[in-house]
Amino acid sequence: MKIDRRTLRSGKDFAAAGLAEATVVDQVAEQYAVAMTPLLADLIDRANPADPIARQFVPDLRELETSPVERADPIGDHAFSPVKGIVHRYPDRLLFTPLLHCPVYCRFCFRRERVGGAEKMLDDAEWTAAFDYIGAHPEVWEVVITGGDPLMLPPARLRQMMQALDAIPHVQIVRIHSRIPVADPDRINAEMLTALTLERATLWLAVHANHAREFSPPAIAALRALARAGIPLLGQTVLLRGVNDSAETLEALFRTMVANRIKPYYLHQLDLAAGTDHFRVPVEEGQELMRQLRGRVSGICQPIYILDIPGGHGKVPIGPVYLEEGIVMDWQGGAHEYTASHDR
């Protein structure tokens, strides 16, 4: 079913596309931002009520239910924000958020209370203050640009951002996190690739994708263009109930990433954002999925299973433990004695 080529933003749009009841979408939209690109809408199998693409992007009334453990600021951004647009949690790296606008709004987003609202982009004074902060902190080796989606910036503003970071000598790595390559790949054009050019620092691009079917032909073409431009690609994935909570689905996703020059980087345990409980997979189940993946795919397909500790305490790996008290487990569940030292 082909739909209007405009981004879906209202209950009327989603209903016309055969994806949801208008009243449901409009009710959710009163609290959280709603948008879906026509490309992603085209990927949805409307005959499958459990379609994993639909589940990620079509509003659901369960989003309006908040469990006792969920938080408005699940990873503690606010406590580590010295100036607007900056989150400085680790000594050698910080987050820069130039805008809170996205091409598509994930229904499980950990910044869902903020994205798509009135404060979509830093103004000139806030922009200057953010770069002044980066320049004044020589310990900052890496700047991670997030959002919103940084690649939603107009090319001229994007180019200005890259040049400003390139001019700060202690910034060696610039890492951009984006859904654009899979959600709105037509934006990856010659103008954007020129805007992303760095003369001194090194750019990495982390591509967010949660299911192999997100890699449409236009997305694959965009990823090839990024790779040809010499930009190394990382993969970011969130473990989601009903989307990728099986070894088979994760295997297909990570194989697809690697086949498209993306190194799977993080498999995130879902943050405790309000209204996301219906997506949450228990940690123990995630660890078992990682055990299964160890024997199904090679090392280049293996991400780190990661938890962002609530309250701003940082990310830690929470993958399965294979070696305890002299017993090591193989990928098939077999137990073996292992001793790495001897009496002297």
Of the candidates 106, 184, 280, 305, the residue annotated as catalytic is: 106
- Is 114 catalytic? The answer is no
End-to-end CA distance of the chain: 72
Of the candidates 55, 107, 111, 179, the residue annotated as catalytic is: 111
Of the candidates 9, 71, 93, 187, the residue annotated as catalytic is: 93
What distance in Å separates the CA atoms of residue 222 and residue 203, rounded to the nearest whole number? Answer: 17
Of the candidates 55, 89, 112, 179, the residue annotated as catalytic is: 89
Of the candidates 51, 149, 271, 277, the residue annotated as catalytic is: 271
- Is 301 catalytic? The answer is no
CB 105 within 8 A of CB 116: yes
- Is 89 catalytic? The answer is yes
CB 271 within 8 A of CB 308: yes
- Is 175 catalytic? The answer is no
Of the candidates 109, 133, 277, 301, the residue annotated as catalytic is: 109
Count the alpha carbons within 13 Å of 296 in the hemisphere toward its beta carbon. Answer: 17
Of the candidates 9, 42, 71, 90, the residue annotated as catalytic is: 90
- Is 106 catalytic? The answer is yes
Of the candidates 32, 51, 55, 102, the residue annotated as catalytic is: 102
Other beta carbons within 10 angstroms of residue 220's beta carbon come to: 16
CB 305 within 8 A of CB 319: yes
Report whether the peptide linkage leading into residue 148 is cis, meaning its omega lies within 30 degrees of zero.
yes
What distance in Å separates the CA atoms of residue 118 and residue 135, rounded to the nearest whole number? Answer: 28
Nearest to 199 by CA among 225, 154, 168, 228: 168
| Cα torsion angle, 313, 317, 321, 322, sign | negative
Q: Which strands form 314-317's sheet, in the order they lie side by side? A: 86-90, 93-96, 142-145, 173-178, 202-208, 233-238, 262-268, 304-309, 314-317
- Is 51 catalytic? The answer is no
CB 150 within 8 A of CB 178: yes
- Is 343 catalytic? The answer is no
Structure tokens at 80: 């580590």
What distance in Å separates the CA atoms of residue 308 and residue 316, rounded to the nearest whole number? Answer: 7
Query: Catalytic residues, which ones?
Result: 89-90, 93, 102, 106, 109, 111, 271, 308, 315
